[in-house]
Amino acid sequence: MAWHYYVECDDAVHRISRLTPLNEYTHNAELYVSSQWFIISREFAEYIAAAAKGTFVHEYIKYAQHTVVADESFFGTVLRNTEFCTKHHNSNFLHLQFDRWESDMESEQRDPRKCLSPDPNRCGRSPTTLTIADFFVLELSDDLFARKVRILIFIACYSSDE
């Protein structure tokens, strides 16, 4: 995976250089991509929040601080390269649905803000926006959380004969 260093200037994001790949040979660690939506233990949260000098998370923050979409690799990389890897229960109770890859869309339909890759055909996908029509799917799942949900406000009027 190629990582690029970005800066924001003049209301735009500019790629200015390529980072040394993070792998077992260059940094004695592997890069992992994961969901940024998951449940973590208090111990792992405290480890990340403290980011104490000399820890993997402290060094990785310095490495990834100017990358785009760092959150999708941050948690997985920190988790897999620390002692927390064997302590994590891999269930996030999150309902996600995906409808199509950004690269499957016609170029004029693509949102240029979603992909800063040098090759727009390598862009990823975003979760489907769930609506009230998806309620029964959500109700039947064991998930506690859902992402992306279009919030619709329903006003119910109740009348009482009393």
Whether 72 and 35 have beta carbons less than 8 Å apart is answered as: yes
Q: What is the pLDDT of residues 40-90, one digit of tens each?
A: 889 999 999 999 999 999 988 888 876 766 777 888 889 999 999 888 776
Q: How confident is the model at residue 1 (pLDDT cuts 50, 70, 90)?
A: very low
Q: In this structure, what is the dihedral angle of CA atoms 51, 57, 61, 62, given to the nearest 10 degrees? A: 90
- pLDDT at 15 > cutoff 50: yes
Two tokens at 77? 């990389």
Instruction: Report pLDDT for 154.
Output: 47
Report the mean per-residue pLDDT for the chain: 76
Q: Computed from CA positions of residues 67, 69, 72, 74, in that sequence, does the dihedral angle turn out positive or negative?
A: positive
- pLDDT at 131 > cutoff 70: yes
Instruction: Report pLDDT for 155.
Output: 46
Instruction: Report pLDDT for 43.
Output: 95
Instruction: Report pLDDT for 73.
Output: 83
Question: Rounded to whole angstroms, how far apart are CA atoms 60 and 46?
Answer: 16
For residue 107, count other CB atoms closer than 10 A to its CB: 9
Two tokens at 130? 């769930």
Q: What is the pLDDT of residues 109-124, one digit of tens each?
A: 776 666 666 666 666 6
